[in-house]
């Protein structure tokens, strides 16, 4: 009943706003001095979509701790990033990805146009330095055919593009041993631009066994050879060591949320990871209307992860090419755009598991025992994509797109021999994913849009394995249809900016992770889900004074995600709420910026209850968190820019769980470990110096 009322209110407000649009031109408002803006026009578009897209801008990232990328991403309606620690995060978009036990595997991510999602479909955006990111564009749903048409959508990360030359250093310290130092050097010339960013981050963590250390370096170089040719180089190196406290039970969280899971604490579980990304891009403009951008790239990841049930070690070599042609031409005396492209990605994953003898190591943590497995995986993906954008009438555009996917796995067992050898290969049937986007601008600051698209998500190689280690030939990809309508409005001389969307997604062949042991899962297709939701955003630039910008904002998402058909053995969960995603989410806050350099940000976040079991018998508690940040920024001697800031997170000191583990099972009569406790009230402060060259 409450959700029906919310829908009615939403529609009434929309009709009222559309009606009131005609009155705006008669309204007289004092001239606003905009110190800064998050308007759509300020967002650099990478997605090639004609539709509006959600984005976290550089300015929004700066409203939070420079050590925290997750809070800024969680500001986007329809997107929820569960955070169980610095390296244990899972992103869900409109309910897609909610049932993945660990990590994010139903969205694709790109850094400056180069894929950073591995061959298993896993993405870890939390390892990137927020101070090196200029923008995160979030495509909700499979509507961007040029970016893989995953059911969850795509994340397009964009690093800083230098507009001036400078040296910058940022030092941040905070609660629980937080220390972060970032050094940034840029050069912006007529032909050459260079951006180099180095980060060191460390924290002792709030919970037991939760220390974290990270060092990262990012180099971006762009050289404009001439008017027709541009060469770009990207290099990114990230090394981190993260202790893992894991999830705990409700009783443990109520008694002492600082404690780690006993088995992970005794094993001193951790993950040590080294990753490298190198890419070279070449853009050639054949004519004023025709150009091609081709990127070749290489990735390397090396990890070592002692866990209570075994020790996982391995490394991955990946490489690929992505090439896109764009042709602009005239249609109905207006510009039309044709895009054609391909993306090829291959990686080779070598991994072994080793017995963990931590229980026999006199409290010193993990100890290697006998080898348990030795495997190699070859994972291949080919995407062919095209889109055509046509102006149909004044203010009306249509975009049709198509993505064709070809995926195969080859699994080699180097450990077992004879009948026990589990080597196998799997080539999935090709999948075609079409998309139709409609965009209508009846006048400036008024926009309506709609989308119909098809998407899919492949199982990872581990999900395709049965408990006996044999590839399951019957396991297939999830497939779904996505429907969306929405609007963007600029009212009161564009001081009030509103946007909203309603969506429906139907997913069949749902991939679920079935637990077969302690923190061990296999995948299977188990039914069908329906994802319905409403998203709304409002931002008002109050014309307070010529030297002051006061900008309150609010965004909210309400959803109803359910199993349409889901039978697990003797249990029928059809009709139950989808596990792992909150039923509602709201962000609200205010930005106050004065021309003398003072600024103040506050953010309120509400997360609704999350179903934790397929039977919907256990739900997490809803929670509210308030964060504040204030500071001062001033130019000194025309060359130096000085900034000092400080912030408080969780100002009301709430005990809450920002991440959960669904369908947790208690082994040996123990209580299920559903919860990852969040940080209590914590503080941070920093100094930033920039010298203009």
**What pLDDT is stored for residue 289 in this prediction?**
94
Q: What is the DSSP string of 124-153?
A: -GGGS-GGGEEEEEEEESS--GGGTTBSSE
Q: To which H or E segment does residue 72 belong?
A: helix 70-73
**What pLDDT is stored for residue 471 in this prediction?**
64
**Is the confidence at residue 83, as pLDDT, over 60?**
yes
- Dihedral sign of CA atoms 263, 264, 265, 268 in order: positive
**pLDDT tens across 499-508, in order?**
999 999 999 9
Q: How far is CA 481 from the centre of its chain?
A: 21
**What pLDDT is stored for residue 27 in this prediction?**
33
Which pLDDT band, with edges at 50, 70 and 90, does 26 fall under? very low
Using CA atoms, how far apart are residues 157 and 46, in angstroms rounded to an integer? 9
Which pLDDT band, with edges at 50, 70 and 90, does 517 fall under? low
Among 163-167, 433-437, 524-528, 610-614, name the one with the lowest average pLDDT: 524-528
Which pLDDT band, with edges at 50, 70 and 90, does 465 fall under? low
Length of the chain in terms of residues written: 693
**What pLDDT is stored for residue 28 in this prediction?**
32
> What is the CATH number for 15?
2.40.170.20
**pLDDT tens across 557-605, in order?**
999 999 998 887 778 889 999 999 999 999 999 999 999 999 999 999 9
**What pLDDT is stored for residue 255 in this prediction?**
94
Domain containing residue 313 = 2-692
Q: What percent of the chain has pLDDT over 70?
A: 89
Contacts of residues 601-609 at CB distance under 8 Å and 24 or more positions apart, as own/partner, are 601/63, 601/628, 601/629, 601/630, 602/626, 602/627, 602/628, 602/629, 603/63, 603/64, 603/71, 603/75, 603/627, 603/628, 605/71, 605/74, 607/80, 607/582, 607/658, 608/582, 608/583, 608/584, 609/582, 609/583
Q: To which H or E segment does residue 251 belong?
A: helix 250-255
**pLDDT tens across 210-242, in order?**
999 999 999 999 999 999 999 999 999 999 999
- Give the global pTM: 0.89
Q: Are 219 and 198 in contact (CB under 8 A)?
A: no
Name the average pLDDT for the chain.
Answer: 88
For residue 69, count other CB atoms closer than 10 A to its CB: 25
Using CA atoms, how far apart are residues 550 and 589, in angstroms rounded to an integer? 11
Among 80-94, 133-147, 310-324, 403-417, name the one with the lowest average pLDDT: 80-94
For residue 474, count other CB atoms closer than 10 A to its CB: 7
Average pLDDT over residues 247-255: 94
What six digits make up the tokens of 639?
Answer: 């060359």
Which pLDDT band, with edges at 50, 70 and 90, does 41 fall under? very low
**What pLDDT is stored for residue 45 in this prediction?**
63
Q: Are 49 and 139 in contact (CB under 8 A)?
A: yes
State how many domains the chain has: 1
**pLDDT tens across 342-383, in order?**
999 999 999 999 999 999 999 999 999 999 999 999 999 999
């Amino acid at each position: 009943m409450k959700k029906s009322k919310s829908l009615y209110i939403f529609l009434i407000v929309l009709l009222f706003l559309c009606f009131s649009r005609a009155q705006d031109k008669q309204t007289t408002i004092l001239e606003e001095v905009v110190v800064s803006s998050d308007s759509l026009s300020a967002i650099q578009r990478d997605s090639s979509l004609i539709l509006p897209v959600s984005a976290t801008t550089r300015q929004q990232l700066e409203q939070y701790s420079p050590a925290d990328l997750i809070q800024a991403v969680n500001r986007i309606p329809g997107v929820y990033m569960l955070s169980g620690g610095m390296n244990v995060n899972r992103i869900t978009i409109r309910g897609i990805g909610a049932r993945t036990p660990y990590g994010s595997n139903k969205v694709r991510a790109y850094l400056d146009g180069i894929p950073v999602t591995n061959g298993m479909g896993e993405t870890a955006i939390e390892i990137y330095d927020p101070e090196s990111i200029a923008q995160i564009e979030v495509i909700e749903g499979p509507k961007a055919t040029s970016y893989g048409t995953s059911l969850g959508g795509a994340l397009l990360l964009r690093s800083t593009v230098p507009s001036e030359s400078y040296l910058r250093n940022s030092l941040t310290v905070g609660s629980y041993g937080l220390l972060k130092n970032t050094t940034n050097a840029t050069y912006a010339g007529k032909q050459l631009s260079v951006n180099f960013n180095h980060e060191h981050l460390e924290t002792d963590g709030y919970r037991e066994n939760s220390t974290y250390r990270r060092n990262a370096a990012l180099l971006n170089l762009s050289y404009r050879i001439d008017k027709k040719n541009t060469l770009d180089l990207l290099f990114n190196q990230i090394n981190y060591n993260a202790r893992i406290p894991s999830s705990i039970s409700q009783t443990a969280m109520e008694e002492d949320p600082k404690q780690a899971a006993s088995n992970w604490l005794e094993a001193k579980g951790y993950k040590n990871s080294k990753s490298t990304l190198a890419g070279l891009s070449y853009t050639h403009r054949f004519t004023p209307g025709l150009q091609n951008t081709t990127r070749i790239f290489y990735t390397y990841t090396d990890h070592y992860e002692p866990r209570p049930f075994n020790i996982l070690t391995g490394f991955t070599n990946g490489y690929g090419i992505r090439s896109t042609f764009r042709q602009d031409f005239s249609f109905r005396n207006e510009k039309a755009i044709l895009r054609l492209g391909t993306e090829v990605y291959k990686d080779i994953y070598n991994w072994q598991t080793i017995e963990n003898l931590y229980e026999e190591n006199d409290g010193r943590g993990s100890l290697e025992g006998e080898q348990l497995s030795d495997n190699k995986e070859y994972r291949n993906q080919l995407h062919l994509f095209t889109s055509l954008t046509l102006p149909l009438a004044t203010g009306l555009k249509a975009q049709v797109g198509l993505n064709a996917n070809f995926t195969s796995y080859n699994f080699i067992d180097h450990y077992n021999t004879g009948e026990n050898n589990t080597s196998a290969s799997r080539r999935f049937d090709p999948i075609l994913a079409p998309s139709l986007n409609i965009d209508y601008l009846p006048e400036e600051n008024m926009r309506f849009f709609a989308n119909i698209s098809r998407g899919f998500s492949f199982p990872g190689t581990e999900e395709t394995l049965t408990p006996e280690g044999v590839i399951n030939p019957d396991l297939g990809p999830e497939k779904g249809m996505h429907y969306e309508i929405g609007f963007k409005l600029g009212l009161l001389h564009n001081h009030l900016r509103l946007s909203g969307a309603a969506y429906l997604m139907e997913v069949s062949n749902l991939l679920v992770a079935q637990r077969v042991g302690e923190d061990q899962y296999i995948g299977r297709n188990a039914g069908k889900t329906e994802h319905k939701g409403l998203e709304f955003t409002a931002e008002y630039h109050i014309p307070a004074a010529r030297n002051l910008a006061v900008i309150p904002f609010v965004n909210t998402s309400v959803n109803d995600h359910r199993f349409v058909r889901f039978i697990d053995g003797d249990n029928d969960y059809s009709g139950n709420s989808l596990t792992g995603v909150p039923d509602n989410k709201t962000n609200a806050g205010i930005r106050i910026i004065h021309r003398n350099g003072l600024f103040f940000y506050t953010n309120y976040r509400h997360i609704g209850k999350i179903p934790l079991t397929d039977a919907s018998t256990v739900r997490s508690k809803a929670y509210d968190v308030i964060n504040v940040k204030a500071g001062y920024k001033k130019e000194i001697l025309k060359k130096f820019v000085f900034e000092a800031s400080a912030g408080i997170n969780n100002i009301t000191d709430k005990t809450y769980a920002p991440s959960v583990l669904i369908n947790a099972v208690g082994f040996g009569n123990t209580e299920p470990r559903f919860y990852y406790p969040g940080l209590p009230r914590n503080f941070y402060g920093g100094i930033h110096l920039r010298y203009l060259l």
